[in-house]
Amino acid sequence: MSDPVTVTQDTFRSTVIESDVPVLVDFWAGWCQPCIQMEPALENIATAYDGSVTVAKVNVEEERGLASMFQVMSIPALFIFHNGKKVVELHGRQSEADLSASLDSLISA
C-alpha cells in the first residue's frame, strides 16, 4: 500500500520530474473543500496504482513558489507528469474514475 507523498520545492525534481513512473500531482490547500473531498479518491489511486504511479501533493499555502511556477490559479489543480513533462492538466474536483482513466491511458501507452 502506498500513500500520497508530500512534495516541496526541494523534492519536486527528484519526486516528479525524475520519476520513472507517471506522477499525479495534486495542488491543494487545507481550507479548500473540494480538495478535502477528493482526498479519499487520491488515497485509493495511490493504493491501486502502487508501483506504477506516484501520487504527490503540493500544499499551495506552504509551496507558493511551485504553485506560481505552474501558474496554479485555482484549486484543486491536478497535473499528471510523465517522462519529466506535464502531459495532463485538470482543474476542479475530479472523480476517481476520471483520474484513473487519465492514468490508464499513460500506463498502457
Could you list the pLDDT tens digit for every one of the 109 residues in the chain?
578 999 999 999 999 999 999 999 999 999 999 999 999 999 999 999 999 999 999 999 999 999 999 999 999 999 999 999 999 999 999 999 999 999 998 887 5
pLDDT of amino acid 2: 78
pLDDT of amino acid 81: 97
Residue type, 24: L
Closest listed residue to residue 106, CA positions, set 40, 41, 54, 71: 54
Question: What are the residue boundaries of the structural domains of the chain, listed by start?
Answer: 5-107
pLDDT of amino acid 109: 57
| Options 5, 21, 29, 32, the catalytic residue | 32
Fold for the domain defined by 5-107: Glutaredoxin (3.40.30)
Annotation says 53 is catalytic = no
Annotation says 63 is catalytic = no
| Options 7, 16, 25, 35, the catalytic residue | 35
